[in-house]
Structure 1
Amino acid sequence: VSIATFIPKPHTPFQWDEQIPIEEAMRKQELLLKHAKQRRLTIRCHDARMSALEGIFARGDRRLSQVLLEAYLRGCRFDGWDEYFNWDAWLAAFDACEIDPWSYLRKRDFDDPLPWDHVDCLVSKSFLQSERMRAVNGAVTPDCRWKGCQGCGVNSAVEQLCERIVITHRDAHKVQGVSRQVSENVRQRYAQVHQMMALEPQQRVRFQFTKLGDLRFLSHLELTKALIRALRRAQLPIAYSRGFNPQPRLAFGPASPVGIESEAEYADAWLERWVSTNDFIQLANAQLPCGCRIVEAVSIPLNADAIAVQLKLSIYQAYVPARLIDGNLQERIARRLSSDEPLIALRETPKGRRRVDIRKVLSNAAVQMVGEGMWMVELHLEDSQSAKGRPDDALRVLCDLDDDALHEIRIIKRSSLCDVNGLLISPLAIVPHHS
């Protein structure tokens, strides 16, 4: 069970309430932990200080921009990770800006001006106040998607938005409580959505795309969302899954580690109608963010195996400044590879340090000097469902590098390959395709 301090956020019925102090949050966490031991429960508690900071910025005003910059200058980075969270630096930043952080967590009266009043979320304050009273009394507000309009104010401000919300429910054609015209629009759009879901995909496109520059800091989930949004903006006829919550039909290859660039990311997209691969590339690239480009695409059979099943090997190149290395790197790596001893890397995980034998996933490594003062290390690492090698683990062992040194190294995935009868080939070449 995960436990966190409740944050009364803006534009919610609880935006006027006080957020409990850090001491009170810690007292309640200790109480829960004490009783959980007697009931065989595992409790994970979010840091109460971090929750306080989240509440301050959620409920704060524009003056906090000064604090944010000051904290950054004092070394605050990656505060979402416990090991990097520096509470004392944040307190010093508030003091330096002469801002009382606790004033943002106080209780507010209904008539008090709020820092976010200039942002119109279309839901009226009177509705939020009535919802707060209903919550205090334990009353449930019905869902407007099937119980009719509850008078939040959105329908009178932007009627089309209500229409879009209602459409998402599978019984949208039965909804009452919106205007006659909206109800008619809902029925028509509802029929269109279900007609779209009933269509069988006519084409499956496999494409290779890049993740370069600042995009290397995106997680796999963030990258896939950005790609899906771009394909929608390009108005490509992406097919949707069936069921209660239809989703665009795309399948992605294995995730590359955060912080590592790539020229060889792969994905499959199912389309409702046939589109030439050249048009697919041009339309998508016009909408993709800088650093993400589709470089090649082919049409493959609708029932072809998934990319994740087919991939076997990934090739990485790491550019290591010579000043980080003592002695000759080529000789050092050659000695390590010629030895029969395991190449153990210690990987930090949420459950603690994990020992990883790089020799089991490393099929080849090559080193050469490129330019003045720069080594290039090429790593061939297994990248399959059964085993996955990480280039940062390999560099730690082969080059004797610590985390600080790894932050200075540019690592880029150059290619991903599939094993077909002992032959390593591109995922775009393993199935017959049409142009």
Structure 2
Amino acid sequence: LKNGGFDEASLTCLSTADYSAVTPLVIELLDKLSKENATLGISSLRAYGLDERILDKMAEVKNTSLTFAPEAGSQRMRDVINKNVTEEDLMKTAVSVFSRGWTKMKLYFMIGLPTEDDEDVMAIMETAGKARQKATECGVRNPTITVSVSSFVPKPHTPFQWASMITLPEIERKQNMLKDAAEKYRLNFRKHYSKISHLEGIVARGDRRVANIIYSAWSQGARFDGWDETFNYSLWVKCVEESGLNTEIFLGTIPMNGKLAWDHIDVGLTERFLEIEWKKATHNRLSPPCGKVYGMVVHHSNLETLEKTFDIDKKKLVCYHCGVACDLKGMVQERRDFLTGMKAVTNETYVPPAVLKKDIAELREKRNQFVGAKYRIEFSKIGPITFISHLDLQKVMQRIFKRARLDTLHSEGYNLRPLLSFGPALTLGISSLTEYFDVRVPGEWTDFDQILKTLHENSEPGIIFKAITAINSKTPSIQDAAKAFTYFIPVKSQTNLKEIVEALKTKEEILIQSYSKKEEVFIQKDIRPLILGLELGSIELDEKIIDIIDEVSPCRSSGIRITTSVKQGTGVRPSEIIELLTSQGLEVERPIKVAIELNY
């Protein structure tokens, strides 16, 4: 974390709550991270497994990931997929979370599970609605419950490998049911793109003939298909049709005595294990989780209770003799070693803290605007790093400061963040020689040159720190102080350039088509009153700087310098400058911001 400058760590595995010694591990991590003003994200949580100690520790610091995966809304469906979790577990978790000050919860579910009917689908929103009600009962005014739903895809080497996948129209019908119910229960609803799920079903149980379809799609330009905005479903349909393959054979029910495309792959399971589990699922019969003592929800959190279970009570781990040669004694010994290593030895009675997260903000010392010292830092953002967003730039700066071991003051409340404040957002892909941000630090900086050197040593390619100025609480914000931007636009063709510039300077009105995000339409806009200066020119910079800018914005040719007025951070956009010049018959490169006029 220190060397990378990051402020968040995450624990990820198939089921975090089932990890041995997860309780002492998370508690120790949270203790260490809180000292670094860093947070811990925990993914793949079930509706159980986070005991009171973990939740209380997580409530003391910002937590960016608190997501649970019930996977099915009704108890019947949870039994079918062998979740071993009840609605009581779900509601208990909701109370535990919301009573500690959280206002948001994400719940993951699936639709299209074997034997599912519409009542099971509606139970998803009913369950989430009950969780929202628990939040209200815990005093949360406007709880945010996000229900994320994906479509079930049968997978090889699982008890559901013989099950059919619901059709594309059926997926869409059930998604629409949930969308309507979300409004009724005041829930946020997110769905997995149905057409991608349909394609996943073909690929999951397809045989080697599907490889030709995948290759054909790739040959015709299919890329990044996991992203909705780049997924071209019609292209995949075309490739399937060209193959002449009936893909429905991979989506329908497969006879249990039929030949499977993956039969030749040995994953270590006995011949009938999956068949037995499939039959139990269709009869709503649970299989307690293997690798645990019967009746246990999570693994032991200390050595004393583990030894009582195995050495005194002589209990054993559940095993179905599935064919995988698990070393049960070795598993128990491994857990002993984990708990010993974490120094989780005795079973101490847990006493909850008197102050929970929702009360902490009220007890913290309130910092006012005069605490510490405040500085305005000038920097350049050039080259490939211009393709990161304004929000991500703030995160990059936070990491640079952390790597440089330069302390900053932090905001108060639940979401601690460094007190960095930036000027108007720079358009994506536009290099800028001059940008600013303000930072508040605990004590005064006495050697600006040394600070700049330290920042340079820990910076990222394309971020160049130029100057530091001391400011105070009366200094206008960068947003308010910015009065003008100057852009340099390299021009590829120099023919009649001087005449075009002179003609533009004499115009009283310059109309362009500008896109209004608010109205979501193009509107006519007169930018002439915003243009303060217009002249021929070029930029003269160090060759190393030119090379970095040149990677994304060729800038070696001469061109035009345009100065535009700015009000509250808005003025003439770079895209509007390009439109103006191309409308005059010029072929231009991306604009480069070369100066900002600050008035304070």
TM-score computed with the length of structure 2 as normaliser:
0.44
Shift of 1:103: 8.6
Q: Which runs of 5+ in 2 are unaligned?
A: 1-12, 16-43, 47-68, 72-80, 82-109, 114-149, 152-165, 205-210, 254-266, 269-287, 299-334, 344-350, 540-553
Counterparts of 1:375 and 1:50, CA distance in 2 = 49
Map of 1:297 onto structure 2 = 468
Which has the larger Rg? 2
Counterparts of 1:334 and 1:95, CA distance in 2 = 59
Describe the superposition over 1:191-234 as per-residue Cα deviations: whole angstroms up to 9, x where unpaired.
xx968979963211110111111111111001111111111121
Counterparts of 1:45 and 1:242, CA distance in 2 = 31
Contact 1:330–1:368, Cα closer than 8 Å, also in 2: no
Shift of 1:345: 2.4
Corresponding residue to 1:209 among 379, 401, 404: 379
SS at 1:410's partner residue? coil
Counterparts of 1:247 and 1:207, CA distance in 2 = 18
Counterparts of 1:52 and 1:208, CA distance in 2 = 48
Matched, 1:415 2:595: yes
Matched, 1:359 2:522: no
Counterparts of 1:68 and 1:248, CA distance in 2 = 48
Matched, 1:86 2:232: yes
Structure 1 residues 50 and 409: CA distance shift in structure 2, 3 A: farther
Contact 2:222–2:231, Cα closer than 8 Å, also in 1: no
Counterparts of 1:346 and 1:258, CA distance in 2 = 17
What amino acid is the match of 1:305? Answer: P
Counterparts of 2:402 and 2:235, CA distance in 1 = 43
Map of 1:236 onto structure 2 = 406
Map of 1:277 onto structure 2 = 448
Map of 1:316 onto structure 2 = 487
Map of 1:165 onto structure 2 = none
Contact 2:490–2:560, Cα closer than 8 Å, also in 1: yes
Counterparts of 1:230 and 1:103, CA distance in 2 = 51
Contact 1:71–1:90, Cα closer than 8 Å, also in 2: no
Contact 2:421–2:439, Cα closer than 8 Å, also in 1: yes
Counterparts of 1:175 and 1:199, CA distance in 2 = 27
Shift of 1:347: 2.5
Counterparts of 1:266 and 1:391, CA distance in 2 = 19
Contact 1:329–1:399, Cα closer than 8 Å, also in 2: no
What amino acid is the match of 1:382? Answer: S
What amino acid is the match of 2:454? Answer: L
Q: After TM superposition, list the pairs within 5 Å mapping 1:46-65 onto structure 2.
A: 48-49=193-194, 52=197
Shift of 1:81: 7.7
Map of 2:347 onto structure 1 = none
Structure 1 residues 341 and 410: CA distance shift in structure 2, 3 A: closer
Contact 2:488–2:538, Cα closer than 8 Å, also in 1: no
Shift of 1:288: 1.6
What amino acid is the match of 1:287? Answer: N
Counterparts of 1:78 and 1:400, CA distance in 2 = 36
Corresponding residue to 1:338 among 506, 523, 528: 506
SS at 1:285's partner residue? helix
Structure 1 residues 239 and 34: CA distance shift in structure 2, 3 A: closer
Counterparts of 2:572 and 2:176, CA distance in 1 = 40
Q: After TM superposition, list the pairs within 5 Å mapping 1:184-203 onto structure 2.
A: 201-203=371-373
Structure 1 residues 94 and 374: CA distance shift in structure 2, 3 A: farther
Contact 2:448–2:468, Cα closer than 8 Å, also in 1: yes
Shift of 1:346: 3.3
For these two proteins, the number of residue pairs brought into alignment is: 332
Counterparts of 1:372 and 1:413, CA distance in 2 = 12
Q: After TM superposition, list the pairs within 5 Å mapping 1:87-126 onto structure 2.
A: 87-89=233-235
What amino acid is the match of 2:527? Answer: I
Counterparts of 2:476 and 2:555, CA distance in 1 = 45
Describe the superposition over 1:64-106 as per-residue Cα deviations: whole angstroms up to 9, x where unpaired.
9x97997598174799685x653334667899999x9x999x9
Shift of 1:372: 12
Counterparts of 1:79 and 1:194, CA distance in 2 = 44
SS at 1:260's partner residue? coil
Structure 1 residues 198 and 252: CA distance shift in structure 2, 3 A: closer
What amino acid is the match of 2:169? Answer: E
